Structure 1
Amino acid sequence: MIEETALVVDATDDYIWVEAKARSACSTCGSQSGCSTSSLSKLFGIRQQRIRLPNTFSSRIGEQVVIGVEDQVMVSASLAAYILPVVLMIAGGVIADSAGLGDAQSALGALAGLALGLLGAGVVTGSHRMRRYFQPQLLRQAVRPLTVSPIEFQSFQGDKP
């Protein structure tokens, strides 16, 4: 299970809307200063994702909750988003080449396969049934760190109240 802490930004009795910051994969890497991926991530900034979830814990605005996605869901989404377009792109190029077409037509076949793969990934992940499958789940309310507030002492003034 992949978990992320999110902030409740809107709430009703039935649903909550949470925002989780989408972090780049290199946000925890030690060599950010010399990495071009880190530079690109800083250039495009951190996106906010707003997700609607059932309010199973009676959460309120301003609370932090933990949301999660099953590992298998992430594998399925990755296969649909990355592998399907690449496989169809290669297949389009190979089919055009095996048909005896020239290099330009093979490149167009590969581009057509890529477009078909991207369209297929959108159809697979965008259907109503699959959206529920890919939907993160509300796991629990985030445990807030214990805060200690300072105690103010008044000086002793004898028996005077």
Structure 2
Amino acid sequence: MVNKGIVTKINGDTVAVKLYKSSSCSHCSCCSETNKMGSNFEFKINQKVELGDLVTLEISEKDVVKAAFIAYIFPPIFMILGYIVADQLGFSEMQSIFGSFLGLGVGFIFLALYDRFFAKKTIDEEIKVVAVEKYDPNACTNLAESCEDF
């Protein structure tokens, strides 16, 4: 997966990049830049960049699928396990439903702990900066002009 963004902050070897929204960038019609920008993203970098540079980031599809699996599959699995455990312990159906929500809460706690202690380190290792370019927001002044790079 490839994405582009603008360097907004540099702190030693850590940079903050304001990523483009993928859907907005795929078919640029030279709309205002604020409509195309997504969220801020911080990671470590070993290349020289300056504020305002346009960076192209790449992360393997395997890592994206792994992150999506952890974020979207683990909490429901814990929810189902919470129900099964409560049911096997002989609780009533209402108490088992409460157990499922308790399991969901445990799943979200697991997700928060994973994010805090493992995901940041993993992201720094998996993100690769493919290209660094000087960014010129005035490069696209003609609406008929193709703006595929921005």
Q: Given the two structures, how large is their TM-score scaled by the length of structure 1?
A: 0.64
Question: Greater helix percent: which structure?
Answer: 2
Please state whether the residue corresponding to 1:62 is helix, strand or coil: coil
In 2 relative to 1, CA 79–13 (structure 1 residues): closer, same or farther, beyond 3 Å? closer
Residue 112 of structure 2 is matched in structure 1 by 122
- Distance, in Å, in 2 between the alignment partners of 1:82 and 1:119 is 13
Deviations 1:37-79 (A, max 9, x none): xxxxxxxxx74213243250x2222220101222222122112
* Root mean square deviation, CA, Å: 3.1
1:137 maps to a residue whose letter is: K
Q: Distance in 1 between matches of 2:12 and 2:98?
A: 52
Aligned to 2:122: 133
TM-score computed with the length of structure 2 as normaliser? 0.68
Once the two structures are superposed, the pairs formed by residues 1-161 of structure 1 within 5 Å of their partners are: 2-11=1-10, 14-22=13-21, 47-56=38-47, 58-127=48-117, 129-135=118-124, 136-142=127-133
Which runs of 5 or more structure 2 residues have no equivalent in the other structure? 27-36, 140-150
Q: How far, CA to CA, are the matches of 1:86 and 1:142 in structure 2?
A: 42
Superimposed CA distance per residue, residues 84-131 of structure 1 (whole angstroms, 9 cap, x where no aligned partner): 11111001111212322112201111011111111112222321x542
Query: Which 4+ runs in 1 deviate beyond 2 A?
Result: 10-17, 21-24, 134-137, 142-145
Determine if contact 2:16/2:40 at 8 Å carries over to the other structure. no
In our comparison, the structure showing a higher alpha carbon Rg is 1
Unaligned runs of 5+ in 1: 29-45, 148-161
Q: Which shows bigger deviation, 74-83 or 113-122?
A: 74-83
Find the aligned partners of 2:95 and 2:63 in 1 and give their Cα distance: 37
CA distance in 2, matches of 1:51, 1:102: 47
Name the amino acid aligned to 1:141: V
Identify if the C-alpha distance between structure 1 residues 120 and 9 changes in structure 2 by more than 3 Å, giving closer, same or farther: same
Alignment check: 8 A CA contact 1:15 1:54 kept: yes
